[in-house]
Amino acid sequence: MTTRPQFAASVRPMGKRRSRLPLVMCFLSLWILGLGMQPVVADTLILAAAADSIPTSYVENGKPTGILIDVIHEAFRRAGYKVEVRLMPWARCIAAAKSGAVDGIFSVFKTPERQQFMTYTDEVLITQVQAFFVRADSSLTFDGDLTKLTGISIGVIKKTSYGPRLDAALTTGIFKKIDVTTNSELNVRKLIAGRVDMIPSYRNIVLSTAKTLGSLDKIKQLSPEIEAIPSYLAFTKKRDFTQLIRDYDKAIASMKKDGSYEQLFNRYLQ
């Protein structure tokens, strides 16, 4: 298994002779440490996921839990690797993968920008159905044509991709206002309070969030859906995870084949 380099042990004394390691190596070690790449426990993968994304990844009784947390742990158990999952705001997940502060993140859409600093697995972790949500008393409609949403205010989560269609629309000036926040709960609260007209979201996350807030009756989904987008586990390009990705893909494929993948989803969605 590929692990993070143990920089703290890069210079060792050699008997009574003083080490003559070139100064450039010392400076290089200091420069790498300055980037925030810290030594970690060997043989343990550090993976990050979005916090407060019920039912896929969230904290319960002080521990990370959720559909995707369970899927990831089972996949790597089968593959023979130890995993630690850390939950954080999604923008921090992206930054941590880019810098190499974590080994990987999930679940993440493929975009050209992200593929510059992350290597994606082949197996889809989850297909996320993106849809618009509005207040229950809203008269807004959606017929599938994003260009008809001119003048609408929309709430989004920082550094989140909503798939190629909506991502492109968010850059064209269609929407009157784009209000950015850090997680699903804050986005739902903004919608209910009338600060935005609509929010896009993975359907199960926004419905579970609203249910937790006791506000499920205050929002509704617009049809049709925006699009269904495959989402993956992806690893930082700061280290080589080629063999590990092969092992993971094999494990996920076996879970889908024997039915355990679907069983984990049903445990939370029924």
| pTM beyond cutoff 0.75 | no
pLDDT, tens digit (0-9, with 9 covering 90-100), for 111-158: 999 999 999 999 999 998 999 999 999 999 999 999 999 999 999 999
Contact between 111 and 119 under an 8 Å Cβ cutoff? The reply is no
User: Which H helix or E strand runs over 258?
Assistant: helix 242-258
Average pLDDT over residues 21-33: 41
Average pLDDT over residues 59-64: 93
pLDDT number for residue 268 = 86
Average pLDDT over residues 57-85: 96
Question: Is there a cis peptide before residue 107, judged by omega within 30 degrees of 0?
Answer: yes
DSSP state, residue 57: B
**67 or 4, which is more confident?**
67
Average pLDDT over residues 70-90: 97
**b or e along 205-216 (b: 16 or more beta carbons within 10 Å of the residue's beta carbon)?**
bbbbbbebeebb
pLDDT number for residue 203 = 87
**CATH for the 44-126+230-269 domain, from 1.10.630.10, 3.40.50.620, 3.40.190.10, 3.40.309.10:** 3.40.190.10
- Cα separation, 162 vs 154, in Å, equals 13
Q: What CATH fold (topology level) applies to the domain 128-228?
A: D-Maltodextrin-Binding Protein; domain 2 (3.40.190)
pLDDT bracket for residue 12 (50, 70, 90): very low
Domain ranges of the chain: 44-126+230-269, 128-228
Task: Give Cβ neighbours of residue 70 (< 8 Å, ≥ 6 apart).
Answer: 264, 267
Percent of the chain at pLDDT exceeding 90 = 74
Q: Decide whether 44-126+230-269 matches 128-228 in CATH topology.
A: yes
Q: Is the pLDDT of residue 86 over 80?
A: yes
Residue 176 sits at the vertex; the CA angle it makes with 152 and 108, to the nearest 5 degrees, is 80
pLDDT, tens digit (0-9, with 9 covering 90-100), for 207-235: 989 998 999 999 999 999 999 999 999 99
pLDDT number for residue 270 = 66
Place of tokens 């559909």: 67
pLDDT, tens digit (0-9, with 9 covering 90-100), for 164-220: 999 999 999 899 999 999 999 999 999 999 999 999 998 888 998 999 899 999 999
Bridge partners for 198 per DSSP? 154
